[in-house]
Amino acid sequence: MSSPPPRPESDPLVAWLFSLRGTGIKWDLDTAEGFSRFLGSPQDRFRSVHVAGTNGKGSVAAMLHAIARAAGLHAGLNTSPHLVRPEERIRLDDEDIDPARFRALVARLREEAARALARGAVPRHPSFFEMMTAAAFVAFAEDRVDLAVVETGLGGRLDATNVLHPELAVITSISRDHTKTLGRTLREIAREKAGIVKPGVPVLVGLAPRRVEDVFREVAGARGAPLHLAREEIRLSVRVDGSFTVTTPRRRYPGLRVSLPGRHQARNAALAVRAAELLAERGIPLDDPGAIRRGLAAVRWPGRLQRLPGDPPIVLDAAHNLAGVRALAAALAPGDRRGRAFPARVLLFAATGGRDGGRMIALLAPAVREVVVTHAGVPQGNVPGKVAAEALRRLRAAGRDLPVSVVEDPGRALETARERARDAGGEVLVAGSLYLVGTVLGMLGEVSAPRR
């Protein structure tokens, strides 16, 4: 499991942790399960909800965590990847894990991993992601959290987080992404995501094409897991002012607001509301309408249409696949219903390998005036020149005349985009790669998110 490069660190412990990326990784659960058993199965000492999906899983997880906090629960949140600092992946109540505690935990787990390997308890040394997952589960167990909301890293069936035995599984959406690992068809991808379904544990499925619903029916039926389809159980109505009403089999929630912008976040919020109700049926008190309302209004999730004021303003969004970019394009679409002027946006763009960066740029083209293509800042990043060439080909085929330039170095590219946006009296939009968003936040000296 890869991660954005850390900010420059002199700490050899953090350097060691990051050295585990891409080494000794095999696509199975053997190491995660063996290491968990060696540590005493910390994931069995707290109640949890497991969240998978192609898009929206991080947002839904953050919303559920915020609802839990508003309901007065001692709650943990485990997400990936991080944007700037690895501590962002482990949240305890309203704060990321303390850096000193995190380093002490990693030091302890490094010794445990060496012992586990020497005793044959694991087939190979835990990877970066497996170590981070273990760190989160140990922290949640030691803190005795009432509920941990855990986001999968990649897929579900063979993801290191799948050692969990949760109270609820949530699968937010299914679309094509990570096809080399998860499969090239939607049905193959759906089956991998459905791997988080556990015997007897309810599963809530969000935005999934109807043609793959039978995959979830089959898996849930085979495991005796009650299946809840958002299409059948949730009605969502969004108003022009951004407020929305969610109607479920249990209740109607009028006039809700979520602190994350974009219509797609209202869809994610509706899924979080239904998940909260299903958790309440498992004895976790999250269905209080007031707590749901307060939690959605207070949720923080950086890098999702996150706006940084300045000259020019910078908007960062983690959209990094076609489905995510379509949602971003819809959120940015010109022709505002209230007649507001369309801002002069300069798109700073990068993509990682296996993704159609040219097509993503073409999808965003109606909302921007210029594009600067750079490198994602990780070895698996797409070649910027090739991305730009493909984008120009698609734009010309569509009859669009949009300036597209290449600046390989992300730092220089950011300055170029800022200068051009400033000259136009507009803003910079950073999109296409989580790694690019994290790199830009790091260069700007931003932490993971402002504290509330």
Average pLDDT over residues 309-335: 86
Domain boundary among 281, 298, 315: 298
Asked if 1 and 128 touch (Cβ cutoff 8 Å), the reply is yes
| pLDDT surpassing 50 at residue 338 | no
User: How many domains would you assign to the chain?
Assistant: 2
pLDDT for 265: 92
Any idea which residue has 């969990």 for tokens? 164
- Residue 395: inside a domain: yes
Would you say residue 451 has pLDDT above 60?
A: no
CA-derived radius of gyration, the chain: 21
Instruction: Write out the DSSP string of 167-232.
Output: SEEEEEE----SHHHH-SSHHHHHHHHGGG--TT--EEEEE--GGGHHHHHHHHHHTTPPEEEHHH
Q: What is the pLDDT of residue 333?
A: 76
In tens, the pLDDT along 197-256 reads 999 999 999 988 888 899 999 999 999 999 999 999 999 999 988 899 999 999 999 999
Mean pLDDT, all residues of the chain: 89
The answer as to whether 161 is a domain residue is yes
Contacts of 393 (CB under 8 A, 6+ apart): 358
Amino acid at 387: V
Torsion sign, CA atoms 432, 436, 437, 443: negative
* CATH number, position 358: 3.90.190.20
- 5, part of any domain: no
Is a pLDDT exceeding 90 seen at residue 313?
A: yes
Same domain, 283 and 419: no
Between 54 and 402, the more confident residue is 402
Query: Do residues 21 and 149 share a domain?
Result: yes
Tell me the mean pLDDT in the region 135-149: 98
Between β-strands 370-373 and 75-78, what pairing exists: parallel, antiparallel or unpaired?
A: unpaired
343 with 428, same domain: the answer is: yes
Shared-domain flag, residues 198 and 288? yes
Predicted TM-score (pTM) of this structure: 0.87
State the residue range of the domain holding 382. 306-443
Paired with 246 in beta bridges are 236, 253
Are 73 and 146 spatial neighbours (Cβ–Cβ below 8 Å)? yes
Domain at 170, CATH number: 3.40.1190.10
Q: Per the structure block, which two tokens stand in for 282?
A: 């498992």
Same domain (yes/no): 38, 132:
yes
pLDDT band at 196 (very low <50, low <70, confident <90, very high): very high
Spell out the residues 6+ positions from residue 146 whose beta carbon is closer than 8 angstroms to its own: 46, 47, 68, 73, 74, 75, 284
